[in-house]
Structure 1
Amino acid sequence: MPEHINYYNPIGLKTEQQIELIVPPEMAGLRLDQALAELCPEYSRSRLKSWVNSGNILIDNKTLRPRDKVNGGEAVIITPIADTSLNIKAEPIALNIVYEDESMLVVNKPAGLVVHPAAGNWDGTLQNALLHHDPALEGLPRAGLVHRIDKETSGLLMVARTLTAHKLLVDQLQARAFEREYLTVVRGYMTAGGTVDAPLARHPTDRKKYAVREGGKEAITHYRVAQRFAKHTLLKVNLETGRTHQIRVHMSHINHAIVGDQVYGGRFKPLANASELLSDTLRGFKRQALHAARLGVVHPVTGEPISWECEMPADMAHLVEVLAKETPVK
């Protein structure tokens, strides 16, 4: 994708329902729908095409056809239409909001809460809760959610409240400017930190899983030791890229699967000579021990760096406490 972060031009949005940007020169010759898909990856190409056809996207204040070519330098005005095709309903689900202003908010998601509605989880999700908290989020992609974490992962998530903020935060995410630090408990004693640089793609036989595969998408995970135990390690993990299941797959790839990960960790193996407390704690930990503990961005309005931290949830804190008590490093 060509760099477009410098060409996004929020030149005084007339309402929250408009995006204004400039087509960069290097896109000259592309079809309009192709250029829009690269400039606005948060929207699907089919949705952008429908907005072009309905007159909700103007090029130099004129309507064009999706197949018309761009020359570069055109001013684009997009007036999005809320997508109600999925009939995602607002639901009064409690939210742990750690920060909120007029342009964005940050949520501490509990383990077990699905982020987006999908097959099998059409309600009871974080997106349903956000729409109840702020009905205006209906006009933003995925109710303003800029990124996501797995259902059984806890921790911080960023939500934009305006189209301007959403665009600028998505640009930061794509430019790898987000600061994202996770805490995770993995199997095995690790002596030092390191980096896993291994491409990820769909698993060749199980389409619900991902795997390290040649030709996959670039995926880079940095990790360092936070606390050691006799047979486990607490890590601080920083993402350079943000692929689906990235930390879980990478930790399994280096033979240090995350405790409780029932997809990438394999079958539970009890520790030899473990106390009843330790065995029960490890066996009873049924989710991946992974927590999004720190999140940092440049604020989309003030331009100032801003960050947040949240402590491990009770179940993961208890796991760490038991490991430290029952399996101290000698």
Structure 2
Amino acid sequence: MSAVQHRAQVPLDEAGRRLDQALAAMFPQYSRSRLSSWVREGAVTVDGAVVAPKQRLQGGEWVQIDARLEDEVPLAPQAIALDIRHEDDDLLVLNKPAGLVVHPGAGNADGTLQNALLHHYARLAELPRAGIVHRLDKDTSGLMVVAKTLPAHTALVAMLSRHDVQRQYAAVVRGALVAGGTVDAPLGRHPVDRLRQAVRNEDTGKRAVTHYRLRERYRAHSLIQCNLETGRTHQIRVHMAHVQHPLVGDPLYGGHLHLPKGASEHLVETLRGFRRQALHAERLAFVHPIREVEMAFEADAPEDMQNLIAALREDAAQA
């Protein structure tokens, strides 16, 4: 059991939301049930006062958490290979492969990144979610930062909340774009399908902004760069589908398979065989939370995505 202390200001874009909902967004390293129990126990105050979980916020209030942390679920360390790009006493940066689940959950009790991290560094068991402060979807590859100490953990969570961590992605989308753009559309849980996110109105969704830039245009697809101004669940996937350019291979938002007219057998085989969203977190930049030095990391897209891009380039060159 360890002490948990956080103090943070409620972002203005959380105005009108319930305290328990805002806490889940502000402190994603803790489960909703744990946060709600702390509120009910009086371990959470808003501007110095104990309030109910359903209390509506105006934005700008100061939230204080003073609680005790017990392990929610005992997790076993597992010897799963990690591609670590940097490690020091306070944090590590790794390149997550596609197919690796970040947190244990329904249908994924083990074999996750969290299990792998506990095997790599046993003291991560003392931190919430083994030091994981943000996540990537199971089938999204790329760079993640993980805290190794409580001070680093607290600082990184605050930096992510302030959008002080720069995250850049590469994606292959359907459609031949002529230029980049910005998608500014609130996101929230889909009203019917609980596995999906959806563009919602300002009352039911949270502000979400994605900037995208065209890198390469093919006959019926494009390679783009995406930079997040916010970091909502499935943000790039939902936003690009919203502007009618869904990610290739996306099982939730991608729609039907699109084959360019006259596509070569190689391209048809490649597109049909690409069964995950074509999304890779290629760059991560931030100021070290303890040493206060600027850090930046880059990771090339994995082989399957590089093969997809190569097949699209070959098809475009032969057109």
TM-score, normalization by structure 1: 0.80
Report what 1:12 is aligned to. Answer: none
Report what 2:161 is aligned to. Answer: 174
CA distance in 1, matches of 2:185, 2:50: 37
- How far did residue 230 of structure 1 move? 1.6
2:137 maps to 1:150: yes
Post-superposition Cα deviations, 1:276-321, rounded to whole Å, max 9, x if no partner, equal 0010001110000000000011101111111100001000001111
CA distance in 2, matches of 1:22, 1:311: 37
2:73 maps to 1:86: yes
Preserved CA contact (<8 Å) 2:208 2:235? yes
Report what 1:116 is aligned to. Answer: 103
CA distance in 2, matches of 1:246, 1:107: 21
Tell me: CA distance 1:66–1:78, structure 2 relative to 1, closer, same or farther (3 Å): same
Report what 1:106 is aligned to. Answer: 93
Tell me: CA distance 1:273–1:154, structure 2 relative to 1, closer, same or farther (3 Å): same
Tell me: CA distance 1:138–1:279, structure 2 relative to 1, closer, same or farther (3 Å): same
The one-letter code sitting in structure 1 at the alignment partner of 2:75 is: I
Report what 1:70 is aligned to. Answer: none
Report what 1:125 is aligned to. Answer: 112
CA distance in 2, matches of 1:118, 1:255: 31
Within a 5 Å distance, the mapping from 1:229-240 to structure 2 comes to 229-240=218-229
The one-letter code sitting in structure 2 at the alignment partner of 1:230 is: R
Return 5+ residue gaps in structure 1 as ranges. 1-16, 25-32, 58-64, 68-75
CA distance in 2, matches of 1:194, 1:291: 19
Aligned with residue 141 of structure 1, among 122, 128, 139: 128
Post-superposition Cα deviations, 1:114-144, rounded to whole Å, max 9, x if no partner, equal 0000010010000010111111111111111
TM-score, normalization by structure 2: 0.82
- How far did residue 271 of structure 1 move? 2.3
Aligned with residue 312 of structure 2, among 320, 323, 327: 323
The one-letter code sitting in structure 1 at the alignment partner of 2:208 is: A
The one-letter code sitting in structure 2 at the alignment partner of 1:276 is: E
Preserved CA contact (<8 Å) 1:184 1:258? yes
Please state whether the residue corresponding to 1:143 is helix, strand or coil. helix
CA distance in 1, matches of 2:211, 2:88: 31
The one-letter code sitting in structure 1 at the alignment partner of 2:239 is: H
Aligned with residue 297 of structure 2, among 308, 315, 320: 308
- How far did residue 52 of structure 1 move? 7.1
Report what 1:30 is aligned to. Answer: none
Within a 5 Å distance, the mapping from 1:255-294 to structure 2 comes to 255-294=244-283
Please state whether the residue corresponding to 1:260 is helix, strand or coil. coil
Tell me: CA distance 1:66–1:88, structure 2 relative to 1, closer, same or farther (3 Å): farther
- How far did residue 51 of structure 1 move? 8.4
Report what 1:96 is aligned to. Answer: 83
- How far did residue 202 of structure 1 move? 1.3
Aligned with residue 35 of structure 2, among 45, 63, 86: 45
Preserved CA contact (<8 Å) 1:221 1:237? yes
Please state whether the residue corresponding to 2:188 is helix, strand or coil. strand
CA distance in 2, matches of 1:147, 1:175: 13
Preserved CA contact (<8 Å) 1:181 1:238? yes
Tell me: CA distance 1:294–1:124, structure 2 relative to 1, closer, same or farther (3 Å): same
CA distance in 1, matches of 2:68, 2:261: 59
Aligned with residue 209 of structure 2, among 217, 220, 227: 220
The one-letter code sitting in structure 2 at the alignment partner of 1:92 is: A
CA distance in 2, matches of 1:140, 1:50: 23
The one-letter code sitting in structure 1 at the alignment partner of 2:35 is: R
Tell me: CA distance 1:133–1:226, structure 2 relative to 1, closer, same or farther (3 Å): same
Within a 5 Å distance, the mapping from 1:241-252 to structure 2 comes to 241-252=230-241
CA distance in 2, matches of 1:264, 1:22: 37
- How far did residue 328 of structure 1 move? 3.3
Please state whether the residue corresponding to 1:328 is helix, strand or coil. helix
The one-letter code sitting in structure 2 at the alignment partner of 1:45 is: L
- How far did residue 92 of structure 1 move? 0.8
- How far did residue 47 of structure 1 move? 5.5
Q: Which moved more, 1:104-113 or 1:40-49?
A: 40-49
CA distance in 2, matches of 1:39, 1:179: 18
Return 5+ residue gaps in structure 2 as ranges. 10-18, 52-63
Preserved CA contact (<8 Å) 1:106 1:159? yes
Post-superposition Cα deviations, 1:136-179, rounded to whole Å, max 9, x if no partner, equal 11111111101001000000111001110011011110001110
Report what 1:189 is aligned to. Answer: 176
CA distance in 2, matches of 1:198, 1:39: 17
Percentage of matched positions with identical amino acids: 49
